[in-house]
Amino acid sequence: MLEIGRRFELAGRAAAAGRVELAAFEVGELGELVDDDLPRAELPKEGPTADLAGKADAFARAVVPDLLGAAKGREPGAFAAAFARTAAACNDCHQASGHGFVEVPSVPGKPVPAMDPVGAQP
Ligand code: HEC
């Protein structure tokens, strides 16, 4: 999961810097990790245990391809929109699994997970 976060951060930073090929590469690597890592994410022993397998599946089949398509399209506005949709899906699963404190920023170019001081403007 840590490496998924790292790839997502790098994809966003690359896109923010106009490095579109690098952004697409990082999203591709992220997609490979999602297939390998997400099924192994450590789920809470108690508390909220919503349908995480279903969320993982939807993430791999819909969210990652959406982001990859946007990265390959090389249109910054479309990439930023897909990045925000992806971050929302990341955060949805974190909340559902009791890890809502792992906040994924919705804007490309920021650290993943969010490390802004609590109370600062996002
Ligand atoms: C299917 C559910 C699910 C999805 C989707 C998901 N995560 Fe996670 N994530 C988890 C769980 C559960 C944890 C905590 C346990 C773990 O790390 O295995 C976690 C932890 C993390 C961590 C902290 C890892 C650490 O060890 O410090 C990061 C960073 C992270 N996720 C990033 C992301 C990003 C970025 C995305 C979207 C691109 C994403 N996650 C999508 C379930 C998910």
Q: Above 70 in pLDDT, residue 46?
A: no
* Choice from 8, 102, 103, 104 to test ligand 1 binding pocket (greatest atom count within 8 A of CB): 102
Percent of residues, the chain, with pLDDT higher than 90: 70
Question: Who has greater pLDDT, 35 or 110?
Answer: 110
79 lines ligand 1 (CB under 6 A): no
Encoded tokens for 9: 């951060």
Distance (Å, whole) CA 13 – CA 64: 17
For residue 3, the tally of other CB atoms under 10 A from its CB is 12
Question: Who has greater pLDDT, 17 or 119?
Answer: 17
Q: Above 90 in pLDDT, residue 109?
A: yes
Asked if residue 47 lies in contact with residue 94, where contact means CB atoms within 8 angstroms, the answer is: no
Distance (Å, whole) CA 74 – CA 100: 31
Distance (Å, whole) CA 87 – CA 49: 20
Q: Above 80 in pLDDT, residue 91?
A: yes
- Kindly report which listed range (7-16, 31-40, 63-72) carries the lowest average pLDDT score: 31-40
33 lines ligand 1 (CB under 6 A): no
